[in-house]
Amino acid sequence: MNKNIILYAAILIFGLAAPFIFPAFKVQLSILCVLIILAITWNIQGGEMGYNSFGNILFYGLGMYLCASVQVGMFFPLAEWTESGGEKTFVHTPAQFFQGMAAGLVVASVVPCVVAGLIGYAILGLRGHYFAICTLGLGVAAGEISGGIEIIGAGQGFTTPPFPNVGGLEARGEFFYLLSFIALVLTFIAVRSVYSTRFKLILNAIRDNEDKAEAMGIQTMKYKIIGWMISAFFCGLAGGIMGGLVGYIDSTDVAFDGREMGVFMVLMAILGGKGTLWGPVIGATVFHIFKEGFWTFFLGWQYVALGVLIVVIVIYFPEGIMGWLREKYPNKFGEVVDEADRKAQVELK
C-alpha cells in the first residue's frame, strides 16, 4: 500500500511538473492525457464489460461540439459565429472564456452521459459483433449528420474561441495541459474507485457469461447502462477539452473521427491489455510515443502504418502489454502457479 502511495505521488508530481520540464511538448502531453482518458473510458465497457464498441467516438464528438457551442452560445449568437468562420467579429473576454469553458465542459460531459443512458437500453440489448457494428454505424451516422447541420458549421467546420491573452501572458499550452491532466486524474480516481467495488465484478460477470450473470439475479441491463454512462461521461469531457485544444472542429475529421480517434481508443486499450486498470494508461502512452516518434518517418504513410499496426497488434498481441506481463510474472499479479500443471500444459502443446 505504501509503495502505491509513493508511486501515485511520484506520477502526480511528475504530471504537474511535466509542462515545465518539457515546454516544447505541452500540446503533445495534453493530447496524451486526452488519449489516456479515451483508452480508460473505452476499457470500462470494452474490456471490463466485454461490449466492444466502435461508437464511443459519438460521445467524444458530441462533447466536443457541445462544449464549443455552449462556450460561444452563452455570449454570442452561435449561427453568426459559425457563419463568420472564425473571423474575429466576436471576442471573448478572459472571464467569458473561462466561464464558458467551465459551463461547456459540464454540458459536454453530462449530455453524452444522458444520451448514453437513453440509447443504452436499445443498443446494449445487442451482443457481440452486432453491438460492434451497430455502434460503428452510430458513430459514422453522427459524423455524417453533423456535417449537414448549418448552425454548427456544417462542412466548413467550427472554430472554437481563441484563448484570451490574460495580461500579456501566453499560457494557452499550460492551461490546456493542466485542464486535461486534472480531467485525467479525475477519470483515473473515479474509475479506480468504481473498480474497487462490486460493480466491477458485475461487469466482469457480464463479460464472462451474461446469461449466467442474469440467472444469478443480476439486472444486467441496468449495470450495462450504468457502465456505458460512466464511459460516456468521461469520453464527452475528453472531447470538450480536445475541442478547445485543437481550436477547430470538423464533423468527420476532428469530432466524429472514427478512422482516427475511434480506432485509437480501441487499439490503445488492446495494446495495453484490456480489462486491467493500468493497461489503457500504459497502452495509450506507448501508442502515443510510437505515433509521434515514428509518424514523421512515415510521412504521408501514417495511415498505412496504422493499418499494419492494427492488424499486427490484433493478430499477434491480443492480450496486450499487461497480459504479456501477467503471463511472464504471474506472481506479481497474485496468481498462484502450479509448476506441475504448467509443465503438463507445455507437454500437451
- Write out the E strands in 206-343: 248-249
**Does residue 330 bind another protein (CB under 8 A)?**
no
**Does residue 123 bind another protein (CB under 8 A)?**
yes
The span of 8-16, 129-137, 180-188, 340-348 binding another protein (CB under 8 A) equals 129-137
Q: Between 249 and 288, how does the x/- string for binding to another protein read (CB under 8 A)?
A: ----------x---x--x---x------------------
Backbone angles phi, psi at 249, to 5 degrees: -115, 125
Asked if 290 and 321 count as a contact pair (C-beta separation under 8 A), the reply is no
**Does residue 295 bind another protein (CB under 8 A)?**
no
Q: Between 165 and 204, how does the x/- string for binding to another protein read (CB under 8 A)?
A: ----------------------------------------
SS (H, E, C) 157-175: CEECCCCCCECCECCHHHH
Place of cell 485525467: 184
Distance (Å, whole) CA 217 – CA 181: 39
3-class secondary-structure state, position 68: helix
Sign of torsion over alpha carbons 126, 130, 132, 136: negative
Q: Between 56 and 95, how does the x/- string for binding to another protein read (CB under 8 A)?
A: ----------------------------------------
C-beta of 23 vs 155, nearer to another protein: 155
What Å distances lie between residue 51 and 47, 134, 339, CA to CA? 7, 12, 34
The span of 4-12, 179-187, 230-238, 298-306 binding another protein (CB under 8 A) equals 298-306
**Does residue 22 bind another protein (CB under 8 A)?**
no
For residue 338, the Cα-to-chain-centroid distance in whole angstroms is: 38
CB of 323 to another protein, least distance (A): 14
**Does residue 216 bind another protein (CB under 8 A)?**
no
Distance (Å, whole) CA 71 – CA 105: 9
- Kind of pairing, strands 248-249 and 158-159? antiparallel
The binding site for another protein (CB under 8 A) comprises 52, 54, 122-123, 125-130, 132-134, 136-138, 140-141, 144-145, 147-148, 155, 259, 263, 266, 270, 300-301, 303-304, 306-311, 314-315, 318
